[in-house]
Structure 1
Amino acid sequence: MKAAIFGIGTELTDGQIVNKNASWISKKLKARGLTTNAHLVVPDERKLMREGLEFCASKADLIFITGGLGPTSDDFTRDIVTEWAGVPLKFDEASWQHVNDRLTSRGYTVKEIQRQQCYFPEGSKVLKNMQGTANAFYLEAHGKKVFVLPGPPREIESVWDDYITGWLSENTKHLDPFVTRMWDTIGVGESDVAVIVEDVLKNVTVEKGYRVHLPYVEVKLSYFKSQEKEMERAVSNLTEALHFCTITRDAEDVAEVFAQKLKEISSICLIDEVTGQFLMNRLMPVLREYMTDKSWSFSKSRTVKSPADLHLHVLPKDEHTCEVSLEFRGKKLKDVISSPYKTANMRERRHQYFAEMALIFWMKNLN
């Protein structure tokens, strides 16, 4: 079963917002062994929307459409989908009641224009949106299975949890999932990593892939789950060959692993005199998730004094080395990190490398 994700909205094609929905949905599908063949985004233009839907249908069995289910004149996704399916629109009284209940309970006046959110293709299944007024829907047409979802990520997640997770569980259990194993390596160039991988797998028929996301080079090995037994030796050999430079496996993120260890810590003081914004940019999203009600601070100067439970420092030694330390419960650990990026024009990459290596040090030593 191949999937396509079709985002609708002029705000996406104008660059006003980033289409994070496609990434989120693809990750959910990948976790179930499904392959996404296409991501497509078009503005709120009927002709392009119809052409886009037909393109997605030509590339996939399962289509996820996001956006354009609201009450305004530029929300006509339901109309395009209905025309493509070749069925009439039908008014759904339960959805109108949902709109009324949700708006009046929040002190809003219900307007007639909002009735347009309550029309759905005949034969489709309405999926109640507990985080918004625009219900989603599911239909089958032209041999394709189509989920039409609202645009806001929180609303997509709500519909997904309430309906789509169960649907996927039931409708994909007969499939042979496509499995991807991953190795995140650091400190070795992409071409050098590729030479190692190609040599280890020279007699193995398997799909290989590489992705540079600095300072990492990710190695990917993909095969069907039914091949797992025959691939055990190849996976083991590759793991051994890449052991010297592997940091994490199978899409595990260093910052998130580290942040999970912070759950029981009430306060943090981080002093970073080296990496600029790189370290803060890596930690900020995960600290917001795991330490919402706790105390944490960033500083670019060691002169800052703090009574925090955990102290994390990244201090310069010279242009190519820095000292990273961790102080917690009377224990202080430190190490010196040397960057492999020596030339003057690699300064930014050095800082990025120092930030990641500091995270790795803290992740390994915080117990």
Structure 2
Amino acid sequence: MKASILGIGTELTDGQIVNQNASWISKQLKDAGITTTSHLVVPDERALMREGIEFIAAHGDVLFITGGLGPTSDDFTRDIVAEWAGLPLKFDETSWKHVNERLTSRGYVVKDIQRQQCYFPEGAKVLFNSQGTANAFQLQVHGKTVFVLPGPPREIEAVWGSSISFWLDENTKHLDPRITRSWDTMGVGESDVAVIAEEVLQGVDVEKGYRVHLPYVEVKLSYLSSREKEMEPVIEKLSEALQFCTIVRDQKDPAQHFAEIVKPIQSICVIDEVTGSFLMNRLMPVLRTYMSEQMWSFSKSRAVKSPADLHLHVLPKDEHSCEVSLEYRGRKIKDTITTPYKTANMRERRHQYMAEMALIFWIKNLQ
């Protein structure tokens, strides 16, 4: 079973926002055993929208169309989908009731323009949207299963949880899902990592991939779940070969892992005199998510004094090494991080390496 995803909105093609919806949907589909063949975005232009639908229909069994279900004049996704399907639009009273209840409960006056959100192609299954006024819908047409979803990510997640996940459970039981195993390495170049992996995998029928996402070089293998037993010796051999430079496995994110660990702690002070903004940029997004009620601070100077429960420091030793420490509940632990990047033009890479290794050190000693 293959899927294809179309994002609709001039804000996408103009570069105003990034199409995170396609990435999120593809991840859910992969977990269910469905391969995504394409991501496409088109502006709010009728001809291009129609061409976009025809393109994804040619490349997928299950189609996902996001955006353009709102109440304004540039929201006409439902019209183009209905036109492509050869179906008339029908007004849905239940959706109109939903629009009225949601808006009036929030103190808004319901306007007649909102009615356009309540039209759906004849025979479509309306999918309730608990996070917005625009309900989604599902169609079986031209031999395809089509899901048409609103644009805001949280609304897509709401519809997914209430409707699409159940469809996936029922319709993917027969599939042999693809498994991806990965090794995130540091301190070794992409070509060097590739030489090691290729030697181990010589003669092995498996889909291989390499990805640089600094400071990591990722090695990944993908194969069908039915081959898991067969692949176990290969995974073990590759793990041994890459052990000297592997930091994390299977797409685990140290920053997120760190945030999960420190979530119960009420206050944190991070002092970083080494990595510039790299450590702060890694931690800020996850701390906002996991520690919205707690106190946390960043400083570039140890002169700052803080009564925080947990103190985390990254302090310089010399150009190629730093001291990393944590102090928590009367316990103080420290270690030295030495970077493998020695040349003058690798200064930025050194800082990235030290930031990531500091995270690893703190995770190890806080678990």
Matches within 5 A, 1:96-115: 96-115=96-115
1:233 CA drift (Å) = 1.2
> Counterpart of 1:176?
176
> Counterpart of 2:253?
253
1:359 CA drift (Å) = 0.6
Q: Which amino acid aligns with 1:110?
A: V
SS of equivalent to 1:41: strand
Give distance in 2, aligned partners of 1:117 and 1:317: 62
> Counterpart of 2:338?
338
1:282 CA drift (Å) = 0.7
Q: Which amino acid aligns with 2:148?
A: V
Give distance in 1, aligned partners of 2:341 and 2:52: 44
Give distance in 2, aligned partners of 1:289 and 1:113: 36
1:239 CA drift (Å) = 1.4
Give distance in 2, aligned partners of 1:143 and 1:224: 26
Matches within 5 A, 1:340-359: 340-359=340-359
Q: Does 1:59 align with 2:42?
A: no
Deviations 1:15-72 (A, max 9, x none): 1111111111111112223221111111100111111111111111111111000011
Give distance in 2, aligned partners of 1:168 and 1:251: 23
Q: Does 1:9 align with 2:9?
A: yes
Q: Which amino acid aligns with 2:104?
A: T
> Counterpart of 1:204?
204
> Counterpart of 2:280?
280
Q: Does 1:303 align with 2:303?
A: yes
The gaps in structure 2 that reach 5 residues or longer are: none
Q: Which amino acid aligns with 1:245?
A: C
Deviations 1:136-164 (A, max 9, x none): 00111111111111011111111111111
> Counterpart of 2:40?
40
> Counterpart of 2:167?
167
Give distance in 2, aligned partners of 1:30 and 1:335: 40
SS of equivalent to 1:261: helix
Q: Which amino acid aligns with 1:38?
A: S
2:185–2:246 contact (8 Å) kept in structure 1 = yes
1:100 CA drift (Å) = 0.9
Deviations 1:299-320 (A, max 9, x none): 0100011111111001111222
Give distance in 1, aligned partners of 2:342 and 2:59: 46
SS of equivalent to 1:204: coil
TM-score, length of structure 2 as denominator length:
0.98
Q: Which amino acid aligns with 1:158?
A: A
SS of equivalent to 2:317: strand
1:175 CA drift (Å) = 0.6
SS of equivalent to 2:262: coil
> Counterpart of 2:264?
264
2:314–2:358 contact (8 Å) kept in structure 1 = yes
SS of equivalent to 2:147: strand
SS of equivalent to 1:210: strand
2:187–2:341 contact (8 Å) kept in structure 1 = no
State the superposition RMSD in angstroms. 1.0
1:226 CA drift (Å) = 1.0
> Counterpart of 1:313?
313
Q: Does 1:122 align with 2:122?
A: yes
Give distance in 1, aligned partners of 2:265 and 2:113: 50
Deviations 1:248-273 (A, max 9, x none): 11111111111111122111000011
Q: Which amino acid aligns with 1:124?
A: A
Q: Which amino acid aligns with 1:76?
A: F
SS of equivalent to 1:90: strand
Give distance in 2, aligned partners of 1:4 and 1:322: 47
Give distance in 1, aligned partners of 2:334 and 2:235: 34
> Counterpart of 2:187?
187
> Counterpart of 2:329?
329
SS of equivalent to 1:63: strand
SS of equivalent to 1:130: coil
SS of equivalent to 2:349: helix
The gaps in structure 1 that reach 5 residues or longer are: none
Deviations 1:148-203 (A, max 9, x none): 11011111111111111111111111111111111111111111111111111102
1:210 CA drift (Å) = 0.7
Q: Does 1:230 align with 2:215?
A: no
1:285 CA drift (Å) = 1.2
Aligned residues: 367
1:343 CA drift (Å) = 2.1
2:5–2:40 contact (8 Å) kept in structure 1 = yes
Residue identity (%)? 77
Give distance in 2, aligned partners of 1:242 and 1:34: 30
Deviations 1:321-358 (A, max 9, x none): 11111111111111111222222222212111111111
**Greater mean deviation of Cα atoms: 149-158 or 315-324:** 315-324
Give distance in 1, aligned partners of 2:269 and 2:79: 54
Give distance in 2, aligned partners of 1:188 and 1:364: 22
TM-score, length of structure 1 as denominator length:
0.98
SS of equivalent to 2:211: strand
